[in-house]
């Protein structure tokens, strides 16, 4: 196994994940704000990452502040 290839491809995946998720979250929050659905409370967030073939499934929990 080539550690450099592994590291590079994991980083590329995480960058794509981060950019895509940020764009989608911001769009959803803006739409919710425009429709009056935000109450000023932190938004509960959860991401699940599954890597098929190695049996990995991890969840990351957090909160998104909107004010």
- Strand locations in 1-67, DSSP E? 43-51, 56-64
Residue 51 token pair: 């890597």
For residue 67, is pLDDT > 90? no
Average pLDDT over residues 42-65: 97
Question: pLDDT per residue over 13-47, tens digit each?
Answer: 999 999 999 999 999 999 999 999 999 899 999 99
Rg of the chain taking only CA atoms, in angstroms: 16
Whether 65 and 42 have beta carbons less than 8 Å apart is answered as yes
Residue with tokens 């290839």: 5
pTM comes to: 0.87
| Secondary structure letter of residue 52 according to DSSP | T
pLDDT at 13: 98
């Amino acid at each position: 196994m080539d550690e450099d290839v592994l590291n590079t491809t994991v980083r590329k995946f995480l960058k794509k994940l981060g950019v895509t998720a940020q764009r989608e979250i911001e769009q959803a929050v803006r739409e919710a704000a425009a429709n009056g659905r935000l109450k000023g409370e932190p938004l509960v967030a959860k991401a699940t990452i599954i890597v098929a073939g190695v049996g990995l499934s991890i969840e990351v929990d957090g909160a998104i502040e909107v004010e």
